[in-house]
Structure 1
Amino acid sequence: MADFGGADLDAFRAQAKTWLAENFPPSLKNRSDIAAAEAPVPVEGDYKLWKEAMGAKGWGVPTWPSEYGGGGLNSSEARVLREEMAAVGAWNPIGGMGVMMFGPTLLEYGTEEQKQRHIPPIVRGELRWCQGYSEPGSGSDLASLQTKAVDKGDHFLVNGSKIWTSGAQYADWCFCLTRTDPSKKHEGISFLLIDMKTPGVEPRPILLISGSSPFCETFFTDVKVPKENLVGPLNGGWTVGKRLLQHERNGLSGGGGAPARSNPAALREIAKTYIGVDESGRLADRDFRTRLIEQDMNARAYQLTNARVALEARNQNGPSAATSIMKNASSSINVNHAEMVVEAMGYNGLAWAGDEFSAEELAAARAFLRVKSGTIAGGSYEIQNNIISKRILGLPDTNIHTY
């Protein structure tokens, strides 16, 4: 669909505004935190109605092709939709790894039958996906993975284990990198789709220091995977898997023009509440005030840069290696935000339990611990620096693993 301007875009804005007024429940205004939970969201009441409406309209994935249930919008229309949603406090209830990572990859590499089967349920938010990439012995050097998929004629027989499979205990499906040729490294990997209800699949949640269990160990014991669940060519999964990682980094960095998860306004209010202000109404701690301004500037600069990168990605038919820069920038901003919240709260920011602490104070320490995993998820900070040096700056190859 071509990008429209002028009257056509004004007409779409009016359409979006009317549709939102008719379908977005006022009770959910600015309540995107409901969908941010790591555990499954109870699908009931207004949330259920809103999710069904967005899924049916296809606006949860506004630029995906309409033939698979997507919104079919062009980039200008998608921008207008985001603006109108923000104006009324609406948010996207359709998300997860299916939207952020697997769906865009399948649209590029999947067969028509695979797209028709898997994309519509993702568009409607009906199924949850997890990622089978890292293994206990294959982290930074992902291509050394050893989970085997042996050809048994009409199916593959999968044996092995994965680790850090986010949300595996809740997932319906897993997109998984497996070794189908043990004699080769990168050229011996295939990309398989595994139904998590298949006998032999066992996810085990890992309890983190933050008190939550968003990650799992996942074990595969004689798991039968139909041949039609192979995405891309046999032994061609490394190419598919790398492309998915670009989509993942784009999503983790807030791809699509969204800001990093730092909220400067909220941080300012927390600082004023706990640190206090001077006689001029300024934050009393001069050093903290300086760093607060720097954090605000970084978050705003990131938002503008990310919007530009997202536009370039659309013009180039997908994300590029620049997602590594944005992923590192967003994780750094988010970690700094969480650290400053705890610092501003002081003793209260270290609270773990007790009626004398507010819900925000109890959440601060957990967020402080949880957010640090963002420097590892999707490829560690160091791995991203390797990618940036090699694929963007063109520096000599030092034989350091990148993926």
Structure 2
Amino acid sequence: MDLQFTDKELAFRDEVRAFLAAELPAELAAKVRRGATLEKADHDRWHAILNARGWLAATWPVDFGGPGWTPVQRHIFEEESARAHAPRIVPFGLAMLGPVLIRFGSKAQQEEYLPRILDGSDWWCQGYSEPGAGSDLASLRTRAVREGDHYVINGQKTWTTLGQHANRIFCLVRTDPQVKPQAGISFILVDLDTPGIEMRPIKLIEGGHEVNEVFFTDVKVPVENLVGEENSGWTIAKFLLTHERTNIAGTGFSTQALEEVKALARARRVNGRRLIDDPLYAARLAQVEIDLEAMKITNLRMLARAQKTGQPGVESSILKIKGTVIRQELNDLARRALGPAAAPFPAEALAGNAAVAPEEHRADAARYFNNRKLSIFGGSNEIQRNILTKAMLEL
């Protein structure tokens, strides 16, 4: 297997770099670089720029408005975007629901929703996890009971990322409680303006508002919002999660983070010497770089396979496990490099405090705390190991 980019792929990389240099707004890149919270308007602005170029829906076929990129081209775009500090593309409509509708949706659903995802008319959020049903997703209890031409939904979803910006949510709901858990689940689309829906913010440990909980009380949803067949939601959920887990790995983000940690370690001095010259710190830095390079090779191997099969396989769990562990290790190395300056002081407490991190690293502590979630969401790493042992090792 040739893991080197072809001349055509290298030319595409040059095209991506030129586009980012010309079209990525400097103020957006600056916000990403210093870890500032991106507002909905920031995401919408970047999405519109990419959509105008035809590069927004990287995983979609040309017939549905995507660029028709190969998996390797998508990999190059993600790597270069991370290196340029571009905002990460919000995945829920584009990388999750879009591929689901293309694969399982009706023609009417594709015609109605896909263009609205592209032009920004709809912002989707994900209704999977529930209290008591996170990694054990099959134990979800939100019910959808059919009454004539509607389903009536009652229940609760939690950890709904960026739901405060959304106008629609795609949900897994239980439509048959009498069969085994996986067999009685359906996938349904819900307008968040429907009466009976309440969204409440969840404040995170670093003080941000990124996730929410959503309550459904006698919410009436048209039957035509069901995706696929009733009780076939588990198959759709697994398909979606495969795309989500590949996305979580974040090879490009880790590559950029590694360069930033190295620069920080070269600049910081501890007991009169550069931190990067400390044997213990240097050993941890070297190990995470080795792991990242190994994951890049694994990623390219999987991309080569995906070019033949058209979609990622169960191996996406490997990327999810290693990718999240690497990102968390890089977060920890950055925090340790800053020492006392990593403390996430409120802005008003910074005046006169000598232990203040450089501006571009003042979000490192908040990022460390926030990214503890990486090894949990999208199916915890423990669950991913179970998937791999069953599917690949047949244990």
- 1:249 is matched with 245
Instruction: Determine if the alignment matches structure 1 residue 342 to structure 2 residue 330.
Output: no
* Corresponding position of 1:232: 228
1:309 corresponding residue in structure 2: 302
Q: What are structure 2's unaligned runs of at least 5 residues?
A: none
Q: 1:262·1:333 contact (CA, 8 Å) conserved in 2?
A: no
Aligned to 1:401: none
Q: Return the alpha-carbon distance in structure 2 between the equivalents of residues 262 and 382 of structure 1.
A: 27
How big is the shift at 1:75?
A: 4.9
C-alpha change, 1:23 and 1:286, in structure 2 (3 Å) is closer
Instruction: Figure out how many residues of one structure are paired with residues of the other and give that number.
Output: 383
Tell me the amino acid that sits aligned with residue 309 of structure 1: M
For residues 363-387 of structure 1, what are the alpha-carbon distances to aligned partners after superposition, in whole Å with 9 as ceiling and x for unaligned? 1221121111111110111111111
Residues 196-238 of structure 1 show CA distances to partners (whole Å, capped at 9, x for unaligned) of 1111111111111111121211100111111111011011111
Q: Supply the distance in 2 between the matched residues of 1:23 and 1:287 (Cα, whole angstroms).
A: 41
Q: Tell me how far apart the structure 1 counterparts of residues 6 and 254 of structure 2 sit (CA, whole Å).
A: 31
Note the aligned Cα RMSD (angstroms). Answer: 3.3
262-271 or 371-380: which moved more?
Answer: 262-271
Compared CA separation, residues 196 and 273, structure 1 to 2 (3 A) = same
- 2:188 corresponds in structure 1 to 192
Question: Following the alignment from structure 1 to structure 2, what is the Cα–Cα distance between the partners of residues 324 and 346?
Answer: 33
Could you report, residue by residue, the CA deviation over 1:184-207 in whole angstroms, capped at 9, with x for unpaired residues?
A: 122111100111111111111111
State the distance in 2 between where 1:147 and 1:265 align. Answer: 44
Per mean C-alpha deviation after superposition, the further-off stretch among 136-145 and 21-30 is 21-30
Match of 2:269 in 1: 275
For the 8 Å contact 2:268–2:275, the answer to whether it is kept is no
Q: Which SS does the other structure have where 2:276 is aligned?
A: coil
**What are the residue-to-residue correspondences of 1:16-31 with 2, within 5 Å?**
16=15, 20=19, 24-25=23-24, 27=26, 30-31=29-30
Q: Deviations over 1:28-63 (max 9, x none)?
A: 68558289866533259xx83x54342133211245
The verdict on how the C-alpha distance between 1:375 and 1:24 changes in structure 2, with shifts beyond 3 A counting, is same
Conserved? CA contact 1:101–1:248, under 8 Å: yes
Percent of pairs with identical residues: 35
CA contact (8 A) 1:68 1:116 kept: no
Quote the residue 1:378 is aligned against.
378
Q: Distance in 1 between matches of 2:339 and 2:36?
A: 26
User: Secondary structure in 2 aligned to 1:169?
Assistant: helix
Q: What is the deviation of 1:267?
A: 0.6
User: In 1, distance between residues paired with 2:363 and 2:123?
Assistant: 26
Is the partner of 2:188 in helix, strand or coil? strand
- Structure 2 length as normaliser, TM-score? 0.85
CA distance, structure 2, for counterparts of residue 363 and residue 6 of structure 1: 38
CA shift for structure 1 position 149: 0.6
Residue in structure 2 matched with residue 106 of structure 1 by the alignment = 101
2:138 aligned residue: 143
Q: 1:291 to 1:188 in 2, by over 3 A?
A: same
Structure 1-normalised TM-score? 0.84
Letter of the 1:208 counterpart: L
Q: Which amino acid aligns with 2:228?
A: G
Task: Tell me how far apart the structure 1 counterparts of residues 20 and 186 of structure 2 sit (CA, whole Å).
Answer: 46
Provide the rounded CA distance (Å) in 2 between the counterparts of 1:300 and 1:375.
19
Aligned to 2:320: 327
Structure 1 residues 209 and 282, CA gap change in structure 2 (3 angstroms): closer
In the alignment, what sits opposite 1:122? 117
Residues 58 and 69, structure 1, Cα contact 8 Å, conserved in 2: yes
Residues 247-279 of structure 1: CA distance to partner in whole angstroms, max 9, x if unpaired? 11011113xx64536622211121222235978
Kept in 2: contact 1:258–1:306 (CA 8 A):
no
Q: Compare 160-169 and 123-132 and name the one that shifted more.
A: 123-132
CA distance in 1, matches of 2:13, 2:378: 38
Task: Please list every run of 5 or more consecutive structure 1 residues that lacks an aligned counterpart in the other structure.
Answer: 396-403
Q: Which residue of 2 aligns with 1:399?
A: none
Q: Which residue of 1 aligns with 2:56?
A: 60
Q: Using the TM superposition, give the Cα deviation of residue 157 of structure 1 relative to its aligned residue in structure 2, in angstroms.
A: 0.7
Q: In 2, are the aligned partners of 1:54 and 1:94 still within 8 Å (CA)?
A: no
Q: CA deviation at 1:143?
A: 1.2
Any idea what the Cα deviations from partners look like across 1:40-98, whole Å, max 9, x if unmatched? 33259xx83x5434213321124522232222344566567668x66994847743311
Question: What code does the residue aligned with 2:266 have?
Answer: K
Q: Distance in 2 between matches of 1:236 and 1:224?
A: 20
Change in Cα spacing, 1:61 to 1:307, as seen in structure 2 (3 Å) is farther
Which structure has more relative contact order (CA 8 Å, sep 6+)? It is 2
- Does the residue aligned with 1:139 lie in a helix, a strand or coil? coil
1:92-103 superposed matches below 5 A: 94-103=89-98
What is the deviation of 1:390?
0.9
Q: Contact 2:266–2:276 at 8 Å: present in 1 too?
A: yes
Distance in 2 between residues matched to 1:136 and 1:19, nearest whole Å = 46
Is the 1:189–1:238 Cα contact (8 Å) retained in structure 2?
yes
